[in-house]
Homo-oligomer: A and B are copies of this chain.
């Protein structure tokens, strides 16, 4: 006797929280943007590198921006070999692993670009997903400021290739060594014992990084005793001395009218600190190289307020900011803000090899930049729907496929309707849903005469809902009869409108 089994409950057709799907034009415009950017990287001699999504937890390390929570943030699991594996959280950690692993065969310097999703095991929120794209370019193996300058110049070229106008972006450049020099002057860093007071410096760094959001007074309060926000909530401060706070705030406000003015102020601030002086010299070299390469101070700005949250930067840091305004969720205008950032990190490879390997690079926030192009309507044009060959006679499918093949050979995107052809109105509704600009109609009498009806769907869109017979369509001005031999130019003419 056959056993009667209980039916298993149906699975839910949903994604895990914080993940999403990308459809049609969303995929196409992202791909077009990434292609424009990586073409620029490639033109600059950078080679593509594609690592796996999965790394050992050990190799990934703990370099997430949120250093207050060093153990969280990644999706990790243990495999049958008891090896802990995790999904990469950025493209820089895998690069450090690759360079350490292959340093004897890779060229020096090694310039590479990488594009792909990264994963963060964080609380999702509106517009904040647990999988998102990054698009990075890095140069490993040279300490030359020319490499930092090259990255900044290439970033500018890449943004323009993606569709951002010259007037709409700036790249802000700073140097961690200058900041460290100021920290020395403020008594927060002892060159003879760099690990002392590391925590206080970290707090100060992350506080300064909030300048955009909190303003000067807010940051000043948080560097000192603490701060009460608009809701009345109190946040304890870093408790720095007043003279240290003055020095740090002087540093973030050191941006002057010209690179020369900024550099001069910074030179004063770092005083006798060797690290600080080296940082100012690097910054000067970067500014000079950019200027010489035609990237002048109107878009390349030395800005000491840029510190970037990541703990691993050791020298130059930079951020690309879009300067045009958009409306926020409450309808108030605000600057679009940062879409890319990066800097020099000379210690990431050292984790593996014990030897310092200088490196510098940039990461573009792909979704942010796409949103910016969207806001400026500057991205790839929306995917045009295919030409639809409708089906009048079910037994002449071969003819319809032949028409579609003719159009495709001429480079025209085209498909034969493959739903139930019985209700002709449904075929036109389908064409409408696909955003098709042209429908092709051929009944048996048209076939006998070697012609087709071409329907201009944009022109006839408003009538689509009301008419469901072929004869009625023929009376519309948006429909025209053409010989099969004239099909390609006739369709091209409608598509070109």
Spell out A's residues near B (CB within 8 Å).
2, 10-17, 19-24, 26-28, 31, 42-45, 47-56, 58-59, 61, 75-77, 79-81, 83, 85, 87, 97-98, 100-102, 107-109, 111, 117, 119, 121, 130-131, 139, 141-142, 144, 146-147, 149-150, 153, 193, 195-196, 288-289, 292-294, 351-354, 383, 386, 388, 397-398, 401-402, 404-405, 408, 411-416, 418-420, 430, 433-434
A12–B84 Cα distance when bound, in Å, is: 13
Shortest A396–chain B CB gap in Å is 10
In the complex, which residues of chain B have a beta carbon less than 8 angstroms from the beta carbon of A22?
Answer: 48-51
In the complex, which residues of chain B have a beta carbon less than 8 angstroms from the beta carbon of A50?
Answer: 21-22, 26-27
A398–B131 Cα distance when bound, in Å, is: 40
The answer to whether A59 touches B19 (Cβ under 8 A) is no
A59–B16 Cα distance when bound, in Å, is: 10
The answer to whether A54 touches B131 (Cβ under 8 A) is yes
Shortest A383–chain B CB gap in Å is 7
The answer to whether A79 touches B430 (Cβ under 8 A) is no
Do A418 and B49 form a contact, CB below 8 Å, given A13-B100, A43-B413, A59-B14?
Answer: no
Shortest A411–chain B CB gap in Å is 8
The answer to whether B52 touches A109 (Cβ under 8 A) is no
The answer to whether A85 touches B16 (Cβ under 8 A) is yes
Shortest A490–chain B CB gap in Å is 19
A4–B61 Cα distance when bound, in Å, is: 22
The answer to whether B195 touches A2 (Cβ under 8 A) is yes
A249–B10 Cα distance when bound, in Å, is: 38
The answer to whether A419 touches B195 (Cβ under 8 A) is no
Identity of the chain B residue whose Cβ is nearest the Cβ of A108 in the assembled complex: B419
The answer to whether A77 touches B76 (Cβ under 8 A) is yes
In the complex, which residues of chain B have a beta carbon less than 8 angstroms from the beta carbon of A408?
Answer: 43-44
In the complex, which residues of chain B have a beta carbon less than 8 angstroms from the beta carbon of A20?
Answer: 52
A53–B20 Cα distance when bound, in Å, is: 10
Shortest A26–chain B CB gap in Å is 8
CB contact between A59 and one of B11, B23, B414, B418 (< 8 Å): that residue: B11
Do A418 and B47 form a contact, CB below 8 Å, given A11-B59, A19-B52, A352-B13?
Answer: no
The answer to whether A418 touches B352 (Cβ under 8 A) is no
The answer to whether B119 touches A54 (Cβ under 8 A) is yes
The answer to whether A142 touches B419 (Cβ under 8 A) is yes
Identity of the chain B residue whose Cβ is nearest the Cβ of A101 in the assembled complex: B13
A342–B397 Cα distance when bound, in Å, is: 22
The answer to whether A47 touches B24 (Cβ under 8 A) is yes
